[in-house]
Structure 1
């Protein structure tokens, strides 16, 4: 509280009636009269190549006229650092005249310093000058500035001269101007270096964006700054790890380099098995990716993983469809939902005769001739159009009056062996088979051929271990039988299908395994 006898009210000031206009100038101004005049001159509308046309007085008169007319836009022509630059191609910065209710305060500072001591004494004096009725704000972004080079052999291009006359309202030049014939000399050599001679006039403006875009960027809440080694975050190290290779090729100077970067703790992890190419040299993967191997598994997933590993005691290579058909409907559906389990027991080939097949860790089919029985063969053909969503739902789950299908699914019986081809029945949704799953009596002898004339010394990316003519014989036999059964099934079901279904071609560019995984 204020002492007794003193007024505890704040001092009151009388606001002068002077009306002022404040200018938020888009640049630094030195506290000199020359700098102030130069800054005000840039607001003059007559800024151009004619010397002496722009002045501080004209700028103030122009601002007064804009306020009287109620205008809202002011142009600021920033001066160039080059004395010969006419600023014809320098677009002005646009400012806005907005109403304001601010107060203008003049602050004066006095400093005293004793000659024998480094002691400063400062005194500040405030003076209320008046109120601000309008403010000129330059909040828009400046456009790009570009000055074209004159063409070779002349000081200025005729089109640029016309542009200059239009900008400066040179009537005499416009009356005497004539278009010269184009020489079509668009490139010249100066000092042995070819340069452009187009003399392109810049556009009226480069950018349509005047105000900064509000990105509203916010850091991902699940990301945090972590210090990790360079080797664990580089793309090359992650790529070699996915292939099962070692990171010995990493430069020695980067192995121990620590970097700090944002790491997304909830990022999506690649749960697919390690994929290698048929042409890759070196040992095949012997263990899953460390990031997947370290993932915790539930008790149910541990049991599923054990059942998966038991299947590799039967054969070293499985297609996804053949592997899923070894389980019941409920077990197969659970395996599809836990895709990381496949990456814990096998790796895959990205191309070649065993493409997309699940191969046991440590087993290289490129070095074992017995692996030819696990090669995949893919058929193409026509199939009836698939039912609509409602029809597909009914075919899978039945209706209220026909629930036999849903009861069978809940009973947990084994899936039908759709991965096998016996030459008697065919499935519309399966077009990829492994040779060991083909049991047709007319095709089995072609698969089990032997001898140097039928097999290769090293596998081929297209035919595998088989010679080209032996592989073509297998493909022709399977294709003939497959399409014969497919056409017969199509003819039997045609009266029950839509008329337009016969004209729709289908081509399985992906394995049936992937389609089964998505069902």
Structure 2
């Protein structure tokens, strides 16, 4: 090895090159460049104008799927090595000539699929041999008028679009050991994540959990949950066994980050049924307690026009609604509770278009009387899977009462606002010492004043309503059945 002669040429070491691992055996360089789109296309790829380098083994065939190569960071040197051996003296050691052609920073690798290509092949009727019908299917140029006058074309159906994904997927799908292979339904690979909460489906026969997962206590320590914060939430569940998330945040005064780690140790969550989305205390079975009717889920959904739209925020913007609330004028006059208030009181509008509440959160006298007057079931009776302890159609009646309450609230609000606007106009007029000119815009004749004092008829849900000195926009409140 010591007798080996090596010559090194490092003159072009500072020259930057791009390496292309061509997927094929190159015998003709010109044909190879043509399959990659030519020198112009290759230069655009190297300069970054085109992200991927494509190779078409049949560049003149539009039905050939291209093979795409991606650039990968790969630093190294491009070497050209020549080995010279003496034919006269075979025992003489060879001479090596190494030339550094340049350095490279990226390499184009073709690791995508290239397992199919569609060719327009048809069978010749005369000879019975297969031939390429590309010239008959594709016009020669833009002035090939004979192409449109052809009557007989080979019956060939090729795809107009290739697969969008050309990468190899190595995902291994988990096999359910309980699956016997007779069902065609595909299940999920993993359970949904609910911040560690135990989410269960409502059932009339299956038992409900009695104790939390022991791992939850360890998680609370990691998240720095204090004993005082835990006792606050436990006290709330000792008083009332079912809560909404907004109700817990309001009554406990804790932040959402702390509360989401405390609730798994105190309560479980229903995913469906009469107590859907309600946090229920461990060990409490609402199917056996008739008083649990007060904690059943009431889904309030509203559809309205401009009358309520300017007051009630959009439910899709609940996350950013706190900032929008601060920018509102006359906040004290708006009959809408704050964004974090969990109760619906009489004389108030909902805080969003869709609102999940308990029936006990509806602080309306008529609704409370209806809940109290429900007759006690006989001993051994069980609740309904859909309506719980409430009779059928109870939610429809409650929704009608709430809609009527909203109408009265809107009437009072616009009536008070009209009175305030009129009083402000009177104050401005009295403070002005100069009588306005009749030709100016500030002057109002007597006919217009009398016209403002006339009664205005409104149509609310198809009912004619007469309101004195009130100009109110059209408003409609729909039931859930119309949604």
TM-score (norm 2): 0.50
TM-score (norm 1): 0.47
